[in-house]
Amino acid sequence: MLFDLLEKNRSYRNFDSAGKISREVLEGLVRAARLCPSASNLQTLKYYLSCEEETNRQILEHLRFAGALKDKKFPYPGKEATAYVVICHDTRISASPERFWKDVGIVAQTMMLAAAELGLGGCMVGSMNQVKIQEVLSMPDNLLPQLILMLGKPAERVKIVTAEDGNVTYFREEDDTHVVPKRPLAELIINKE
């Protein structure tokens, strides 16, 4: 059900490299994104699909991960993702990418949930060198990378805990389980009864 999927849909940064993802699967994710709401229904977002080793490697070089875990470098060697979706804004449709940042979030989560339903997982990556990504993927100037979905068959444990005293910094336990504190429900609702 939806809540199970939402719980399973954590950010994963290590993968089983044998868990290949086909182009058809990635196209299925775009089919899901296509059905999403869009500001003024302008549908400015375009998608670069990568499931080849070479383009995967080129994309990964220009991404950064888990800034709070300074002593770790993700993904671990041999645990790289097997696919990426580069969500781009098309300036030929609108000259203002920031007007569509909310659209980016909506399609990103929709695609991550569609991937989770297939037993896949990954991480949204906003920390990237946009110019380099454009360059290595030979993208025309009108396509501006906004957010990248890194995808694969997850190979790490991630768990949610309730944040205490407002501490929401994620961390790793001794056995390398990745722990994600979420603020308690009561902290999220503004108008208490």
Which residues sit at the interface with ligand FMN, rule CB under 6 A?
Answer: 10-11, 13, 64-66, 123-127, 147, 158, 170, 180
Decide the pairing of beta strands 158-162 and 171-172: unpaired
Question: In terms of CB distance, is 98 or 193 closer to ligand FMN?
Answer: 98
Question: In terms of CB distance, is 71 or 141 closer to ligand FMN?
Answer: 71
Question: In terms of CB distance, is 123 or 143 closer to ligand FMN?
Answer: 123
d(CA 95, CA 155): 40
Question: In terms of CB distance, is 72 or 192 closer to ligand FMN?
Answer: 72
Is residue 144 within 8 A of residue 167, CB to CB? The reply is no
Give the residue closest to ligand FMN by C-beta: 127
Is residue 121 within 8 A of residue 152, CB to CB? The reply is yes
H or E segment at 10?
none
Is residue 81 within 8 A of residue 12, CB to CB? The reply is no
d(CA 68, CA 87): 24
